[in-house]
Structures are given as C-alpha cells and as structure tokens.
Amino acid sequence: MIDIKYLREHPEEVKENIRKKFQDEKLPLVDEVIVLDQERRDCQKEADELKAARNSLSKQIGVLMKEGKKEEAESVKAQVNANAERLAALDKKQGELEEKVTAIMMRIPQIIDPSVPIGKDDSENVEVERFGDPVVPDFEIPYHTEIMERLHGIDLDAARRVAGNGFYYLMGDIARLHSAVIAYARDFMIDRGFTYCVPPFMIRSNVVTGVMSFAEMDAMMYKIEGEDLFLIGTSEHSMIGKFIDQIVPEEELPYTLTSYSPCFRKEKGAHGLEDRGVYRIHQFEKQEMIVVCKPEESPMWYDKLWKNTVDLFRSLDIPVRTLECCSGDLADLKVKSVDVEAWSPRQKKYFEVGSCSNLGDAQARRLRIRVDGKDGKYLAHTLNNTVVAPPRMLIAFLENNLQADGSIRIPEVLRPYMGGKDKIS
C-alpha cells in the first residue's frame, strides 16, 4: 500500500505505475480515492473547527452563568448541543470515508523499482545469471514420482484416499532426505547469522491483509471455519506479522530471521502436465528467510537474500539461474522480485524453486511497523526469500543426483543429516 500523501501529490506517477503493471482497470481508482480523501479531509477540518468552537462556547457558558445571564447561557448551550449532533454525524461519515479510502488504497499496487523490466506476465521475465553447468546425462531420467516410487519413497494413492489430490505420503529414505534438506537449510542460514524461529502456523485476518493483496489471499489461503484464523501459505506471513503495531528501536535493525513451517495453499487454477506429483500441492514444508531493515538498506539485503539461495543449491551440486520478475509478474505489494530456478535435466530447462522479494514499506504500512530513529519515526522495509521448499526442491535434487544404476548420490554436505549415507538405492 502506497502513501496516500504520495498519491495525492503524484497521481500521474501512480497511474503510470498501474499501466506498467498492465492493470488499466485500476486507473479510475486513483481519481476516486483522491475525491474521497478530499471529502474525508474536509470532514476532519469541519470536525476540528467544531471541537475548537465547543471549547470556546463551554467557557462562555461558564462566564454567562457566573454573571447571572441564564437565558444567554441556555442559548449558547443549545448551540453546543447542535454542534455536538453535527460532530457525531461528521465522525460517522469520516469513519465511513476512512474505510472506503483504505479499501481502495489496498487495491492500488506498490510503486515498482525503476530497474524492474516492463512485461505483461512471467513469460517476459528476464534471465540475469546462471550458476553451475547444466548437464543432461546419457541415460533416461524418469518423472520425479517414478524415481521416488522405485525407491519406495512415495505413496500418492493412499494420500488421495485420505485427503484427495494434492497430497502425498513420503516414505523411508525419501522422507528422511526431505527432513535432511530442511535441517541442512536451517543450519545453513544460522551459519550466515540468521536467527532461527518456528512461528505460529495460523494467523488472524488483519495479519493476512497486512502481508498480501486480496487477489493473493483468495487464491492461496485456507480459512478456519468459525474462527478468525487462516492457515499460513508461507512462514513469511506470520514472521512479518510478528511486528504488527510495533515501534522498533533503530539500533536493533536489521532483524534477520530464518523460519521453518508447514505451508498450506489452495493452488487454484489449471495445472499443466509438469505440475503433477509433488510440484503443486496443498501442503508442504519450507525454510524461509525474512529481513526487517532500514529503507536505505533494503536493496543490499535483497541481493544478499537471493544469493543465499543460490549458494545453498550450489552446495548441493544443483545448477540454478536467477530470473528478474517483470512488472506484470509482480504481486501488488512487491517493489522488486527475482526467482531462483533449478535445472531439470529431464525437462532440459529450468523451473522455479524459490522467490526473493523486496516489499519496500508496503507491509510495514499495512501492519503499522515503525522504526524509532534519531530523526523521528518512519516505516521499516521488509524482505523475504525462500531458502528451500523440499517437495519442489526434491525434484531438482533427485534429477540432478540420479545415477545410471537408479541410485541417488548424496552430496557431501548433506551426508551428516542422512546418517552418513552417500547414496540412496
């Protein structure tokens, strides 16, 4: 959510930003909110004038009563009562206008960084850099669920009977590999100075609307029936929510946190052939990293965060590339975002395994996360990035470490988490 003052003073820049995101249907919202905001400010001005008049008239009543001028005092009292009725009406109207302005402002996208490439959707994202040499072996690589099934590591049929499509049972060494990757990612981030955290896996609606757009909320979140609670789609939601309504001392920044959680997602929409198995699922686990920092430091942290993910995947011998998200592929709260994609030797192409985002002050404005600095209070900046999400990451891991005999090589850094095993066979 952008600053209403900025929108008021720079409406054309806000409209141009909307055009860059190919959301022209939102253009009328800018003029609409300006009109409503002016009406709200007019209400506030009149209310302030009436309150000042009330104080003055109250003093007059006291003076008139002391002077024995009862009739004149009663006349002034009548005026005070009339003003009180008008003030109550103004307060009600102002509250209604406040709600309307906020609802519209939450639909207007954040101003994107000038470096973001302009494009309609993810097909126009721009490759930035590749890390590691992609290899296609001289033997056939089966679909990832076939690899798991050969190793007795997955049971999709039982999961469908128990919970429906989009769920799975991981078994044996594959289940252990899943847990090993999470544990390794946790320690990897702790070694880089991040504080480990296990957050709540459910959050209230005011936190949900503080961390994401309404469109994202509808597409992702599961609501708990009869409760003001939602299952988290990623631990970023509850980790940023941790700071709701807080004024944090500037000297404590940055907060660098890495969090583990299960994640729950509706995954609405049509899915392609490659989305079978454990690629798009309703429940998975993830290690996340989030940063709360001073505004001038967020570009630096943005680069540090995505590099952490690249370094982790390279430590597991998985080739990756970074892809700059274009304007039309950015969620409304994001200022800038980069996807990390892993190499799939079976598909002979890269696919997304993580996303790093700088949200500027968007989440902080919605959640009222302020910093107490030497020159006054200001809004913090928030960033997040996937360390690793094993179900999808497992696909890249299995394909890149599959051997000709059907076994899976375990990279050296992961062996301590696998009981010393150097392969799964």
Residue 270: what pLDDT? 46
What secondary structure does DSSP assign to 212-248, as a single string?
S-HHHHHHHPEEPTTSS-EE-SSHHHHHHHTTTT-EE
pLDDT at 214: 75
pLDDT for 84 = 80
Quick: pLDDT tens for 163-176: 998 899 999 999 99
Average pLDDT, the chain: 92
Q: Are residues 79 and 153 in the same domain?
A: no
76: enclosing H helix or E strand: helix 70-105
**114 domain residue, yes or no:** no
Residue 155 pLDDT class (50, 70, 90 cuts) = very high
What is the pLDDT at residue 1? 82
Q: What is the percentage of the chain residues whose pLDDT exceeds 70?
A: 92
Give me the phi and psi of 16, to 5 degrees please. Answer: -65, -35
* pLDDT (0 to 100) of residue 49: 83
Residue 51 has pLDDT above 70, yes or no: yes
Ranges of beta strands (E only) in 294-335 are: 320-324
Structure-token pair, residue 42: 């007019």
Q: What percent of the chain has pLDDT above 90?
A: 80
Residue 366 pLDDT greater than 70, yes or no? yes
**pLDDT tens-digit profile of 199-235?**
999 999 999 999 988 778 888 899 999 999 999 999 9
Same domain, 81 and 126: no
Q: Judge whether 354 and 385 are in contact, CB under 8 Å.
A: yes
326-347 tens-digit pLDDT: 999 999 999 999 999 999 999 9
Claim to verify: residue 38 and residue 139 sit in the same structural domain: no
User: What's residue 273's pLDDT?
Assistant: 47
**pLDDT, tens digit, for every residue of 342-351?**
999 999 999 9
Query: pLDDT value at position 345?
Result: 96
Residue bearing the bigger pLDDT, 275 or 392: 392
110 domain residue, yes or no = no
Same structural domain, 269 and 127 = yes
Give the residue among 425, 275, 402 at the shortest CA–CA distance from 346. Answer: 402
What local confidence, expressed as pLDDT, does residue 76 receive? Answer: 65
Query: What was the pLDDT predicted at 53?
Result: 74
Residue at a domain's end among 105, 133, 150: 105
User: Does any domain span residue 111?
Assistant: no
Segment of 83-92, 261-270, 276-285, 302-311 carrying the highest mean pLDDT:
302-311
| Long-range contacts of 215-219, Cβ-Cβ distance < 8 Å, separation of 24 or more | 215/332, 216/331, 218/268, 219/266, 219/268, 219/269
- Asked whether residue 150 falls in the same domain as residue 68, the answer is no
Supply the range of the domain harboring residue 33.
Answer: 4-105
- Model confidence at 41, in pLDDT bands (50, 70, 90)? very high
Q: How confident is the model at residue 64 (pLDDT cuts 50, 70, 90)?
A: low
Last residue of a domain, one of 105, 132, 162: 105
Could you report the per-residue pLDDT of 252-279, keeping only the tens digit for each? 999 999 999 999 999 765 455 455 678 7
Question: Is residue 112 situated within a structural domain?
Answer: no
From 35, 70, 105, give the residue that closes a domain.
Answer: 105
Q: Is 43 found in the same domain as 175?
A: no
Whichever domain contains 255, its CATH number is 3.30.930.10
Q: What is the CATH number of the domain that holds 70?
A: 1.10.287.40
On the question of pLDDT at 97 being above 90, the answer is yes
